[in-house]
Amino acid sequence: MSVLVGKKAPEFKAKAVVKGHEIVEEFSLAQFIGKKHVVFYFYPADFTFVCPTEIIAFQDKISEFEKRNTVVVGCSVDSEFSHWKWLQTEQREGGIKGVTYPLVSDLAKTISENFDVLAGSYEYDENGHAQFFGTPQSYRGLFIIDKKGVVRHQLVNDMPIGRSVDEVLRIVDALQFFEENGEVCPANWHKGDKAMKPTQESVSEYLAKQYTFI
């Protein structure tokens, strides 16, 4: 599994559904560079069980991300037509109608490969014929990308394990606090908590306030 933190996020242009109904041909995260932070996450497949709970959970908190000048973008190996159909299906019928942020189609699986979240790989025989080994879907990868296009946070869950949207918001808050103030955020930091100056002395002071040593 590649560690992309500290590196430029892999670039791509792909078909996507935006605003819950509009199919665009060349969606790219590059449009947000210099403007917004990005939460880019992968999910295994449309019309499944855990995936809609995550997709809808992000939508439920979309205003919180907007307050932080952060966009949310989802991606799976399904086609743009599958995304569109799922977005038109009522939630009571297993759909995700009401979701407004972009869902990217990675039908060729190249985006998942480049972010190293594809649950399998292609192998070629001596005749050059490709065969896929593993599961042709993405793990639940999540990447927080700053305004420079650099990955600052990475999380990858196995397919059965859903993610915490509140934790994603916490990480966005911590990243933006550091960018604005130059102070680092200790364990369990939440917006409004005290942070630390990045020196060894400040670490000792912080620990002394948090713990009583015998």
Q: Could you give the residue ranges of the DSSP H alpha helices within the chain?
A: 50-60, 62-67, 80-88, 110-114, 165-181, 200-210
Longest dimension (CA), the chain: 69
Beta strands in the chain (DSSP E): 14-18, 22-27, 37-42, 70-76, 103-105, 118-124, 130-138, 140-145, 151-157
Active site residue 51: yes
Q: Which of 29, 51, 118, 142 is catalytic?
A: 51
Structural contact between residues 55 and 96, judged by C-beta atoms closer than 8 angstroms: yes
Q: Could you give the residue ranges of the DSSP H alpha helices within 33-160?
A: 50-60, 62-67, 80-88, 110-114
Structural contact between residues 137 and 157, judged by C-beta atoms closer than 8 angstroms: no
Strand partners, 142: 41, 155
Comparing CA positions, the residue from 24, 104, 99 lying closest to residue 57 is 99
Active site residues: 51
